[in-house]
Amino acid sequence: MDRIKLMISMRSEIRPPSAAFTEKDMPDLTGKVFLVTGGSSGVGLELCRILYHRGGRVIVGGRSEKAFQSAADNIKANPASDLGNCPKGSLEFLYIDLSDLMTVKPAAQELLSKINRLDVVWYNAGVMIPPVGSKTKQGYELQWGTNVVSHFLLNRFLSPLQTKTAESAPANSVRTIWISSSAHHFAPDPYGINFGDINYEHSKKKPDPWMTYGQSKVGDVLCAFEYAQQVSAKGIVSLSLNPGNLKTNLQRHAGSIMRLFSFMLFPARLGALTELYAGFAPELTVKKGFVYIIPWGRIGPLNKRVRLGLEEYGTSKKLWAILVKETEKYM
Ligand SMILES: NC(=O)c1ccc[n+]([C@@H]2O[C@H](COP(=O)([O-])OP(=O)(O)OC[C@H]3O[C@@H](n4cnc5c(N)ncnc54)[C@H](OP(=O)(O)O)[C@@H]3O)[C@@H](O)[C@H]2O)c1
């Protein structure tokens, strides 16, 4: 019942107004370098389509080269709409399995060996409501490990290059974007992270998968917030977003009830516009600092409990310290 009330209160995220910032607002991206994790499907693929057809060098992080090749063929054959005749960029595959922390350092090293700038990163890959008990190679709850811990570790490796890029890039153009979800509202009480047992290893009851997915999406928000506190002064914009409710492969683990609601899902391109806005809208600045973006590209409200946790209970600092400690041995 609470969730139904919540969904009613979120109607502008569920039935968003038209996007104000679209492909046609994009500058020529020739010479810029981008990383999109999970760019071989869904929202990430549609984002890569726009970046590529605007001339960007696009690195696609994923665990299947075959899926990347098929995405790249699709992107090259089907230009983004509204772009007119633009120079094409490039698409490159970067192997990374976010459910295995051991793959993160080699991926980061490979990436850093071939690029000398990194303009915008979208930590976009994600998994939603897999069977309860699913774990990463290192034993993290699968959504927590994939959506949060691995991206956090990857960011530790990429942060120095983004900092260096920001020294000479146009102001506010270097950005780190942590993809969250409206499901962050479903995260556990009181402030969205169950700090006593993040992986729900010790709870007697099976955790609700929506709650653990929501917790992972709060994790992304807290990382974006805390990172913004650390890097705004260095010229990096760090923010988080809900891309919108979209028809993608994300629902692969959802049961028949959720499939009944599929009529409420929008084309993945619209989610890509939310991510595009976060990556390029001129009004998002280091001065403004952390913001939370909602579909299809507007500044929106965070969940009240999550906001309170950030502002009054230092949840982002606490999480950051935990993640630094836990990822140290994979550096
Ligand atoms: N769709 C929605 O309605 C919605 C709503 C709110 C937020 N989001 C968020 O938007 C982001 C994009 O999701 P989407 O809707 O585009 O779903 P999607 O089509 O399933 O795309 C997710 C991508 O993440 C990749 N991925 C998953 N686990 C991975 C791993 N261990 N290592 C490397 N890559 C991995 C997937 O690759 P594989 O094919 O190899 O699994 C896939 O390319 C996610 O963070 C999601 O939480 C989506």
In contact, 79 and 287? CB cutoff 8 Å: no
Residue 1: both structure tokens together: 């019942």
Ligand 1 atom closest to Cα of residue 250? 20
Q: What are phi and psi of 59, to 5 degrees?
A: -100, 125
In contact, 141 and 193? CB cutoff 8 Å: no
Ligand 1 atom closest to Cα of residue 39? 43
Ligand 1 atom 27 nearest Cα: 126
Q: How far is the CA of 268 from the centre of ligand 1 (A)?
A: 11
User: Would you say the CB of residue 247 lies under 6 angstroms from ligand 1?
Assistant: no
User: Would you say the CB of residue 192 lies under 6 angstroms from ligand 1?
Assistant: no
Q: How far is the CA of 267 from the centre of ligand 1 (A)?
A: 14
Ligand 1, from 41, 137, 150: best to mutate by most atoms within 8 Å of Cβ? 41
Crossing angle of helices 315-327/150-168, nearest 10°? 100
**292-294: strand order across its sheet:** 90-95, 57-62, 33-37, 120-123, 174-179, 236-241, 292-294, 298-299
Ligand 1 atom 37 nearest Cα: 38
d(C-alpha 55, C-alpha 36), whole Å: 15
Ligand 1, from 249, 259, 273: best to mutate by most atoms within 8 Å of Cβ? 249
User: Would you say the CB of residue 126 lies under 6 angstroms from ligand 1?
Assistant: yes
Written in H, E and C, the secondary structure of the chain is CHHHHHHHHCHHHHCCCCCCCCHHHCCCCCCCEEEEECCCCHHHHHHHHHHHHCCCEEEEEECCHHHHHHHHHHHHHCCCCCCCCCCCCEEEEEECCCCCHHHHHHHHHHHHHHCCCCCEEEECCCCCCCCCCCECCCCCEHHHHHHHHHHHHHHHHHHHHHHHHHHHCCCCCEEEEEECCHHHHHCCCCCCCCHHHCCCCCCCCCCCHHHHHHHHHHHHHHHHHHHHHHHHHHCEEEEEECCCCECCHHHHHCCHHHHHHHHHCECHHHHHHHHHHHHHCCCCCCCCCCCEEECCCEECCCCHHHHHHHHHHCHHHHHHHHHHHHHHHHC
Shortest CA distance to 13 belongs to which of 304, 264, 307, 285? Answer: 264
User: Would you say the CB of residue 295 lies under 6 angstroms from ligand 1?
Assistant: no
Ligand 1 atom 40 nearest Cα: 63
Ligand 1 atom 6 nearest Cα: 181
Ligand 1, from 7, 15, 43, 276: best to mutate by most atoms within 8 Å of Cβ? 43
d(C-alpha 268, C-alpha 47), whole Å: 9
Domain annotation for the chain: domains and CATH numbers: 2-330 (3.40.50.720)
User: Would you say the CB of residue 70 lies under 6 angstroms from ligand 1?
Assistant: no
Could you report the average pLDDT of every consecutive run of 10 residues in the chain (331 residues)? 67 89 94 98 98 96 98 93 80 98 98 98 96 96 98 98 98 98 93 95 88 97 98 98 93 71 88 98 97 96 95 97 98 98
d(C-alpha 148, C-alpha 152), whole Å: 6
Contact residues for 331 (Cβ-Cβ < 8 A; gap 6+) = 105, 153, 156, 157
d(C-alpha 142, C-alpha 136), whole Å: 5
User: Would you say the CB of residue 43 lies under 6 angstroms from ligand 1?
Assistant: yes
Count the Cβ atoms, other than its own, within 10 Å of residue 74: 13
In contact, 48 and 325? CB cutoff 8 Å: no
Catalytic residues: 180, 213, 217
d(C-alpha 235, C-alpha 183), whole Å: 30
Q: How far is the CA of 126 from the centre of ligand 1 (A)?
A: 4
The β-bridge relationship of strands 120-123 and 57-62 is unpaired
Ligand 1 atom closest to Cα of residue 97? 32
pLDDT tens across 15-42, in order?
Answer: 899 999 999 999 999 999 999 999 999 9
